[in-house]
Amino acid sequence: MTTNIVELEQITEPTSQQIIDENRDYTLFSWSVQNAANPVHLKRAEGVYFWDGDDNRWLDFSSQLINMNVGHQHPKVLNAIKKQVDELCFAGPSFATEPRGTLGKKLAEVTGLAKSFFTLGGSEANENAIKIARLYTGRNKIITRYRSYHGATMGSMTASGDPRRWPVEPGMPGVVRAFDPYCYRCPFGQKVESCHRECVSHIEEIIRMEGPDNIAAILVEGITGSNGLLIPPDDYYPKLRALCDRYGILLIDDEVMSGFGRTGMWLATQHYGIKPDIVTAAKGLTSGYMPLGTVIVSAPIAEYFETHMLYGGLTYSGHPVSCAAANANLAVYEEESIFENVETQGAYLTHRLNSIEQRFACVGDVRSIGLFSVIELVKDKVTREPLAPFNGTSPEMGKLAAYLKSQHLYAFTRFNMLWVCPPLIITQEQLGNGLDIIEEGLRIVDATLAS
């Protein structure tokens, strides 16, 4: 009898192809033209690897969506989730729970800010950061930058400068955009060694033209992620902070991708020695184990809401299981010296990327900080003509992506760029193996361009 049940289970277990078909037939994939979606069946995962339905092992050089900082299936995070599920699975957002208070306290400690408002992810965190800035300042405009991504809900998508916002425009009113500190392709035609940081001074001009008393906040990614790892010069943030202070404008630092160890610090802006008024975070807050985001506000902003209504909150805000996952995840960062590993492996990564930049004709620039890096591909090193157009792709980039996939290296490519953002627990050997595959891919691109 037992044997029959086992046999029956074996017979009825769906194949990988059936799973993929069911996903494609009954679900919509995000950011995809549906008939071009080509999902891999992700069956199981551990550490820096995952396995597909055919039992191929993939090296995850993208930490899924640059969020699984402690890697897949970390036992301490899994256990914390299981424990919390057993104890208390849900409490409405107006109740006090142990994991919520513990997390708020820890976030205040590591950011130097005061209080957290919990959300379900990064987009919603940015929505609420904008709302909080408007309520607190009584002003309405928000300055953001062109090469930025802040989310896919209506407000956060409008706040983004990324072309992904184009189809939903006009979106939310009151967004004004500025240029980015993109030193490889400086929008002001300057060189970083000799420029006057026109990327900051032109924001001051925008402020004057828009009316300083109308501007609630400047919203920037700590370090721009999905638009190409734009690492500002050392004095960029101090100058931006001073500009905000001069006009009473809040600085909102979107650390959804760059925060929580990705650059080796809690926040990318901590490398620059400045303190924002509001920090938004998500991804590395739980390493993706449960959905969670946060808006962390300064003491004056927290104080304001002591006597003013905070207009916001969803049914699942401050979910106890998500907060428990975050608490365990943040403990892993400290107990397992994850940021130290980021520094060590980050140095190795930078060394390898610099060598790649020198040896491959198709590599125009490499940018990295910690385990957050991009390779920017060009047709010609001298003219810097991109290997694929802005908001487009090219046969060469397609070939590179297909090669990496064929080698079961999961790495994010977009426009003329390739990201290397593995889980922060990666070893040098694992990192080296993935970079060897990338080098082979770049060799193929060089050969194609030369032919």
Residues that bind ligand PMP (CB under 6 A): 121-123, 126, 149-151, 221, 225-226, 254, 256-257, 282
- Rounded (10°) CA dihedral 168, 221, 227, 72: -100
Q: Who contacts 186 (Cβ-Cβ below 8 Å, separation ≥6)?
A: 192, 195, 198, 199
| Cβ neighbours around 38 below 10 Å, total | 10
Q: Could you give the dihedral angle defined by the CA atoms of residues 201, 205, 210 and 211, in that order, rounded to the nearest 10 degrees?
A: 90
Q: Which is nearer to ligand PMP, 250 or 257 (CB)?
A: 257
Tell me how far, at minimum, the Cβ of 66 lies from ligand PMP, in Å.
7
Query: For residue 352, which amino acid is it?
Result: R
Residues 6+ apart with CB under 8 A from 19: 41, 53
Asked if omega into 276 is within 30° of 0 (cis), the reply is no
Cα separation, 264 vs 261, in Å, equals 5
Tokens matching residue 376? 């920017």
Least distance to ligand PMP, CB of residue 165, Å: 12
Instruction: Tell me how far, at minimum, the Cβ of 257 lies from ligand PMP, in Å.
Output: 4
| Least distance to ligand PMP, CB of residue 318, Å | 16
| 148 φ/ψ sector (left φ>0, alpha ψ -120 to 50, else beta) | beta
| Strand ranges, E, within 340-433 | 363-369, 372-377, 409-410, 413-414, 417-420
Measured from the CB atom, is 225 or 386 closer to ligand PMP? 225
Nearer to ligand PMP by Cβ, of 257 and 387: the residue is 257
Cβ-based nearer residue to ligand PMP, 137 or 294:
294
**Quick one: 30 or 94, whose CB is closer to ligand PMP?**
30
Determine the residue with CB nearest ligand PMP. 122
Q: Residue 159's Cα: distance from chain center in Å?
A: 16
Tell the smallest beta-carbon distance from residue 280 to ligand PMP (Å). 7
Contact call for residues 86 and 80 (beta carbons, < 8 A):
no
**Nearer residue to ligand PMP within complex by CB, 149 or 182:** 149
Helix and strand counts by DSSP (H, E) for the chain: 14, 15
CB of 419 to ligand PMP, least distance (A): 11
Four-residue CA torsion sign, 323, 325, 328, 329 = negative
Q: Which residues contact 436 (CB under 8 A, 6 or more apart)?
A: none
The secondary structure of 219-273 as a DSSP string is EEESSB-TTT-B---TTHHHHHHHHHHHHT-EEEEE-TTTTTTTTSSSSGGGGGT
Nearer Cβ to ligand PMP, position 259 or 441?
A: 259
Identity of the residue, 118 or 149, whose beta carbon is nearer to ligand PMP in the bound complex:
149
257 versus 297: smaller Cβ distance to ligand PMP: 257
Closest CB 421 distance from ligand PMP, rounded Å: 11
Cβ within 8 Å of residue 329, ≥6 positions away: 69, 70, 74, 77, 284, 285, 286, 287, 289
Q: Which residues pair with 409 in a beta bridge?
A: 59
CB of 11 to ligand PMP, least distance (A): 39
DSSP 7-28: HHHHHHSPPHHHHHHHHHHH-P
Instruction: Provide, rounded to whole angstroms, the least separation between the CB of residue 149 and ligand PMP.
Output: 5
Q: What Å distances lie between residue 118 and 124, 130, 318, CA to CA?
A: 9, 14, 5
CB of 134 to ligand PMP, least distance (A): 18
Say how far apart CA 141 and CA 436 lie, in whole Å: 47
- C-beta of 257 vs 290, nearer to ligand PMP: 257
Residue 268 Cβ vs ligand PMP, minimum distance, rounded to whole Å? 10
CB nearer ligand PMP, residue 222 or residue 434:
222
Rounded to a whole number of angstroms, the minimum distance from the CB of residue 181 to ligand PMP is 15
Nearer to ligand PMP, 121 or 181 (CB): 121
